[in-house]
Structure 1
Amino acid sequence: MRPKFYQILIFLSIFLPSVLKAQTSQTVTAGSQTAVVNYPVCTCTYQWTNDMPAIGIGIKGTGDIPSFTAVNTTKVPITATIVATPLGFQGQPPLLYVPVTSRNIVSSINATTSALITNIPVGDGPKAVAISHDYNKVYVGNFNANSISVIYMPTNRVIATIPLNSSPQAIVVSPDNLKVYVSESSSNAIAEIDALTNTVTGRITVWNNPKAISLSFDGSKMYVSNTDGTISVINTATKAVISTIGIDPDPLYSLLSKDDKTLYVIDGDKREIQVINTITGTITTRISIGLTTQGGMVLSPDGSRLYVSNWADDNLAVINTTTNLIIGTIPVGAGPDGITISEDGNWLYVSNTSNNTMSVVNTSSLNVTSFNLAGQSNSRGNLYIPRAECGPVITFNITVNPTGPKIDAAGNLQPLTTVYGTPSLPSSFTVSSTNLTADVVITAPAGFELSIDKVAFSHTVTVSSGSTGNITSTPIYIRLAKTTSVKAGGYSGDILLQSSGTPNATIAMPASTVTPAQLLVTAGNQTKMRGDDNPVLTISYVGFVNGDDVTQLAVQPMVATTATPSSRRGEYPITVSGGVATNYTFKYVSGVLVVASVPNGPITIPNAFTPNGDGINDIWDIVNLDSYANITVTIFNRYGTSVYFSNGYEVAWDGNYKGSKAPAGTYYYIITGVNKKKLAGYVTVIR
């Protein structure tokens, strides 16, 4: 049961007269804003029609009419008649229609007081439930009877039974309430039902054992989760599968976000929710959930929270849809399965299959109460019908007088970004006008360029006003130019629209950003002979744009090498660094300086060296000895023990013996292979 104060509010709303805001006609001038139209305070929805859409709004809609810019492109006043009709039933409390699977009934329950209103007999094994958007009909899928029961809500009676080819798994109703779609499990098809005649008018073949169905907000696309690990994406107009999304097998239930961009699919086998980007058709993340999930899942009205019933854990998982992380759990009854949410998001209703109860969760306080059901409920779908206390039919007029010459610019311009040297993708706005005597010249802020055809861009464009002086809504495209430089704080400003004899108009371009282009700076490879001076080190560039060259760099990169004229034979890095530029970032690629010895050149044998690790004279460096192919070098201490031996002299002696420092002193050496005679002498190790 809900708190007593809530029941008092419901009592007052039923028995005290509603305060209705009277709707009055209004007259405005074209180009000005109309007054907001607020319908009477009630929980039903007003649906309105407009016999003159030329004033600036459509021919029909639902809910209050926000302020809009009045339109009149003629020379005389235009009057539109608005008729607003409430949808719903006077005095109806919020209701729950709960399928009691074990007793083949649907319980109609007062959602406020948890009191049973009536039990409605349906077919064998009712599970899936869908409610028409005008709250007139309740569609119940009878799993064991292979049928759909149609309940007329005002009388709580079954008005039709629709036979199917196999067991219904899920049901959805089109936004216009004219079509009902049902997944037939073993038939591998979606049955399409005409809601006016309650007959199956066709079937759409999908993959194996379709279970869950989700319908886009406008009803144009349907997502069907199949047990074989696929999602069939259906164009409801053509009744054709237009794409297939791969998922893991055993999907139990699916749910589509209100913006149609995200599809949540419960996988019973892996005990996780697969989060699918419907635009790319890919799984973007996986959310691990409870031990066993039967299929209950619902989004909060604002889409920020996803509630999932964990059957074996006896709780609900609460998921933050921005981070896709579980932020908490709510304990409920035993074996929670079906879950639904009130229209305002304040209450969750969870059917518990193991103890035949329904938990009622206050989403603000997380207080949980429960009441008994007439039996076990294995519910699927939305069970909730909001209260509908409706006001009268309302008729009023909006008169729009013509205006003088005027330019209008409208649109939701987006911040742009690009890389220096490349124009950005364009954003767009529209220009329109009335009663002009000259064309409209449009000028972009600094850094931007404009186009009428999205092909040719320039700093200014001209839109012809024609013979009438009226310009219908015409798109204008704006982008960052490829020549626009990188600048701290980016680029923004007003787009200026001008025409002779007419007040100027502007539309703001939000702050947009140019990021630096990447410049590849490569050091050129070089060679030299040992003893020679280092060659001139060179740099090459790849990535200059807009005709730029090194003169556009604030500081040109420097090139350097560790090699010196006396460096031994080998490869030495040539490094690049230090470049500075406003419009470029630098990627450096090092080169190599190859130092070669003079082949069989003259040999210079030092008579001493100082292996003390100071980087100077640390090795016994015999010039050009490493260029001889068949030499040997042997070094003896004063006791005649060999402390160094080498075939070739690629690695010079560093004054060590068996990994330890050889003592300071004089050592005797023998070198063979330079000429016919051995070279012998003494070398002193100084420490």
Structure 2
Amino acid sequence: MIRALAAASILALGLGMGGRAEPAIYVASQEAGALTRLDGPAVVGLRLGSGPAGLAATADGTLFLTHPEAGRITVVVPGGGDLRALPFRGQPFGIAASADGRRLFVGDWQAGTVSRIDARTGSVEAAAPVGREPAGIVLDGEARVFVSERGGDSVSILDADTMALRARLPVGRAPFALALSPDGDRLYVGNVRSNDLTVIDARGLLVLATVPSGRSPYGVATSRDGGLILVTNQESGSVSVLGHDLVPRARIPVGRYPEGVAVAGDRAYVANWYSNDVSIIDLAGLREIERRPVPDGPRAVVAVPLRGRGEADR
């Protein structure tokens, strides 16, 4: 059924439209089992079924979504109208893709492992044990994999090539979301149960600071220049904005139970899980300027600079 829906649905999502310079915003709605493209004059979407939770993208617009309850990963490929499923033996949750899109790093929520997967075939190349409930996963330019361990109050750092453990750092309680600064110097960790943000020296692998954020920080992102850090506060219905110096700049009201957040240009996009919409924030004025409805249960959001496949490596 997924393949039968592929061509029409991907055209509706606008994937594969080469020559576009502006980013595209995609939202995964877990309750509705849907993927939505938000930018443009209309909200259009694709029904994927079985609750997508994690969402990752490559620069050419390829999207990867994890389905924890179904044990699979959906791959949405631009250009050729390809929509396919990769099996996963376990409960896939957090996901990150290598820059070239050939490898995926997927956390198994139940097993407490991270697997490196061939993105074309779904075959597992290697796997490594990590702490309990691996949630957020990000990669850096030095072939390292950062994993937030929600059940272990820590962040593990793996070597992407060998999957060996490089370090494990204690952070706050129940770390969930991760964000790497644009220069790769800092890793920001949202700690859900201690209501704070841990800042890690990503090169030296040292904890620099832990500062208050808001109630249940479930999403973290930075502005393009790294000067602002945005933290979604699920139980407060707000986004905290901190400067690079970690001094609070603003607290912006958004929808109910905000989770994932992504930045594109001078705007931030916040998925509001309970109010079934996305808040659009003007980063210059530090205020919500629009709220757009999406299918039920939006939890993850990414911004993809769609340049078309022919321009992906330029």
* Structure 1 unaligned spans of 5+: 1-86, 393-687
- CA positional deviation for 1:221: 0.8
CA distance in 2, matches of 1:225, 1:367: 29
2:237 equivalent to 1:314:
yes
Structure 1 residue 384 corresponds to structure 2 residue 313: no
2:13 corresponding residue in structure 1: none
Residue 293 of structure 2 aligns with which residue? 372
Task: Identify which of 138, 141, 147 aligns with 2:66.
Answer: 141
116, 130, 140: which one aligns with 2:43? 116
Cα distance in 1 for partners of 2:196, 2:27 equals: 26
> In 2, Cα distance between the equivalents of 1:278 and 1:91?
33
Corresponding residue number in structure 2 for 1:360: 280
Deviation at 1:162, TM superposition (A): 1.6
Mapped pair 1:248 → 2:172: yes
Aligned partner of 1:314: which letter? G
Q: Normalization by structure 2: what TM-score? A: 0.86
**SS at structure 2 position matched to 1:127:** coil
The residue number in structure 2 matching 1:131 is: 57
The answer (yes or no) to whether the contact 2:153–2:171 under 8 Å persists in 1 is yes
CA offsets, 1:412-445, max 9 Å, x none?
xxxxxxxxxxxxxxxxxxxxxxxxxxxxxxxxxx
Residues 59, 305 of structure 2: 8 Å contact kept: no
Return the letter of the residue paired with 2:132: N
> Is 2:212 the partner of 1:283?
no
Q: How big is the shift at 1:130?
A: 0.5
Distance 2:182 2:146 in 1: 14
Q: Distance in 1 between matches of 2:272 and 2:288?
A: 17
Structure 1 position 208, deviation (Å)? 2.1
**Equivalent AA in structure 2 for residue 194 of structure 1:** D
The answer to whether the aligner puts 1:209 opposite 2:129 as a matched pair is no
Please tell me whether residue 223 in structure 1 is matched to residue 146 in structure 2. Answer: yes
CA separation in 2, counterparts of 1:232 and 1:91?
A: 37
How far did residue 191 of structure 1 move? 1.4
CA shift for structure 1 position 385: 2.0
What SS does the aligned partner of 1:385 have?
strand
- Could you tell me how far apart the structure 2 residues matched to 1:364 and 1:162 are? 40
Specify whether residues 197 and 391 from structure 1 end up closer, same or farther in structure 2 by C-alpha distance, changes over 3 A only: closer
Q: Is the 8 A contact 1:123 1:145 kept in 2?
A: no
1:265 offset after TM fit, Å? Answer: 0.9
Give 1:299's aligned residue. 222
Which residue of structure 2 aligns with residue 414 of structure 1?
Answer: none
CA contact (8 A) 2:155 2:168 kept: yes
Separation in structure 2 between the aligned mates of residue 387 and residue 347 of structure 1, nearest angstrom: 17
Contact in 2 for aligned 1:287/1:325 (Cα 8 Å) = no
**Gap change, CA 1:89 and 1:199, over 3 Å in 2:** farther
Aligned letter for 2:243?
A: N
- Which one-letter code corresponds to 2:96 in the other structure? V
Counterpart residue identity of residue 30, structure 2: T
Question: 2:309 and 2:59 mapped to 1: Cα distance?
Answer: 16
Note the alpha carbon deviations across 1:270-304, whole angstroms, 9 max, x for none. Answer: 100011123443322111111222x1111111111
1:109-130 deviation digits (Å, cap 9, x = unpaired): 3x132x123x323241111110
Amino acid at match of 1:325: V
Q: Among the aligned pairs, what percent are the same residue?
A: 21
Instruction: Write out aligned runs for 1:557-636 (5 A).
Output: none
Which position in structure 2 is the counterpart of 1:338?
260
Contact 1:217–1:258 (CA<8 Å) still a contact in 2?
A: no
Residues 390 and 175 of structure 1, relative CA distance in 2, 3 Å threshold: closer
Sort the Cα spacing of 1:94 and 1:233 in 2 relative to 1 into closer, same or farther, 3 A. Answer: closer
**Separation (CA, whole Å) in 2 of partners of 1:350 and 1:180:** 24
SS of the residue 1:95 aligns to? strand
Inter-CA distance 120–222: structure 2 relative to 1 (3 Å threshold): same
Q: Distance in 1 between matches of 2:27 and 2:56?
A: 11
CA distance in structure 2 between the partners assigned to 1:281 and 1:93 by the alignment = 34
Give the drift of 1:92.
Answer: 7.7
User: 1:186, 1:142 → 2: CA distance?
Assistant: 13
Higher mean alpha-carbon deviation, 96-105 vs 180-189, is at 96-105
Alignment check: 8 A CA contact 1:120 1:156 kept: no
Q: Are residues 204 and 333 of structure 1, via their aligned partners in 2, closer, same or farther at CA, if it must alter by over 3 Å?
A: same
User: For residues 108-507 of structure 1, what are the structure 2 equivalents within 5 Å?
Assistant: 108-109=37-38, 111-113=39-41, 115-117=42-44, 119-135=45-61, 137-154=62-79, 157-158=82-83, 160-218=84-142, 220-226=143-149, 227-293=151-217, 295-321=218-244, 323-342=245-264, 344=265, 346-365=266-285, 366-379=287-300, 382-388=301-307
CA contact (8 A) 1:162 1:200 kept: no
- Is the 1:123–1:147 contact (alpha carbons within 8 Å) kept by the matching residues of 2? no
The root-mean-square deviation of aligned C-alpha atoms, in Å, is 2.3
TM (normalized to structure 1)?
0.41
